[in-house]
Amino acid sequence: MKGRAIPLEDVGSPKEAMRRIVTVRFCEVLTQAPALKDAKPQPLHDLRIACKRLRYTLELFGNALRECRAAERALEGLQQLLGDAHDCDILLESAQRAGAVHLAKRVRRDRERSVRRAQRLWLRSIDEHGAFASLIGLSGIGNAEG
């Protein structure tokens, strides 16, 4: 998944540019989030990449966006859990090709566990008072004025 280009020609201030960049990256994550429900390998991987892109954006603007530290930590956790699931997907393919039935069963179980943990972390984070509350406020998502 390639990140969207973010036009900044018309922004009036660095703060406005930062807000726009974070909003676009957050929207990319939100767009990919349904992957958590279906848990198919490629969409989950795309969600991981979107989380990574947003997390690195928040790290870049860290001093100016201290209120987003909880979101940064949640994104790091999601990125790790989705990365674990991706690693399992790769290993599962190899185990199946090799006919390693018991290994494949174990890897499937580990993948399911990582996906369930990612789902729970997502639900906690997107909650009104969760780790993404600062991103929701910053971006104006869910706000008629935003």
The type of residue at 42 is Q
Per-residue pLDDT tens digits for 105-133: 999 999 999 999 999 999 999 998 999 99
142 — pLDDT class (breaks 50, 70, 90): low
The type of residue at 2 is K
Q: Give the torsion sign (CA, 141, 22, 80, 130).
A: negative
Contacts for 73 with CB less than 8 Å, ≥ 6 apart: 131
Say whether pLDDT at 143 is over 90: no
pTM of the model: 0.91
Per-residue pLDDT tens digits for 51-90: 999 999 999 998 888 999 999 999 999 999 999 999 999 9
HSE-CB for 45 with a 13 A CA cutoff? 10
144 — pLDDT class (breaks 50, 70, 90): very low
HSE-CB for 90 with a 13 A CA cutoff? 7
The mean of the pLDDT values for the chain is 93
